[in-house]
């Protein structure tokens, strides 16, 4: 499966979630996944497992992991951040996570797949649907 690499950097004040989704939209990524992200935040906004209310924090936080699927049809990302004592929290990445110094992002994608998000009846949420793209000659 031929893969494309997408490498970009976010700057102070950028919104992590919005910027990743905008990049996917601008580059017409149909099926992508997060390879790595190194960076820091001044604000985080996360949804923890099985919770409806987001958790918000401000200060200085290291991004210690960012993982998930990315598509112009909708992305699903989880993040872990640590504070100055090393205390780490993580959850579903929401908008309003503001970059402190940088976010160095690497995404891979494939033109042979397409990710969409649809309710499938197994959960109340729109879940990942994976489709192979037929070659057009």
- Residue owning tokens 């891979």: 108
CA neighbor of 66 nearest in space, from 58, 57, 75, 55: 75
Residue 137 in domain: no
- Residue owning tokens 């700057």: 11
Residue 120 in domain: no
Domain that holds residue 73: 3-112
- For range 10-20, the mean pLDDT: 98
In the structure encoding, which two tokens stand for residue 76, read together?
């699903």
Q: How many structural domains are present in the chain?
A: 1
More confident residue, 134 or 15: 15
Residue 25 in domain: yes
Backbone phi, psi, residue 73, to 5°: -90, 0
In the structure encoding, which two tokens stand for residue 97, read together?
């996570």
Burial 13-22 (b: 16+ CB within 10 A, else e): ebbbbebbbe
pTM, entire model = 0.94
pLDDT at residue number 136:
52
Could you read off the pLDDT of 102-123 as tens digits, one per residue? 999 999 999 999 999 999 999 9
Residue 132 in domain: no
Say whether pLDDT at 73 is over 60: yes
- For range 15-35, the mean pLDDT: 98
* Residue 21 to residue 15: CA distance in whole angstroms: 10
């Amino acid at each position: 499966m031929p893969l494309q690499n997408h490498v970009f950097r976010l700057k102070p004040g950028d919104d992590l979630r919005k910027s990743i989704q905008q990049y996917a939209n601008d580059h017409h990524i149909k099926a992508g996944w997060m390879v790595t992200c190194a960076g820091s935040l001044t604000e985080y906004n996360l949804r923890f497992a099985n919770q409806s209310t987001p958790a918000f924090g401000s200060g200085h936080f290291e991004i210690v992991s960012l993982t998930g699927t990315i598509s112009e049809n909708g992305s699903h990302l989880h993040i872990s951040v640590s504070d100055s004592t090393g205390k780490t929290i993580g959850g579903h990445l929401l908008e309003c996570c503001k970059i402190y110094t940088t976010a160095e992002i690497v995404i891979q994608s494939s033109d042979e797949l397409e990710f969409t998000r649809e309710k499938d009846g197994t959960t109340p949420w729109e879940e990942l649907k994976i489709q192979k793209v037929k070659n057009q000659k």
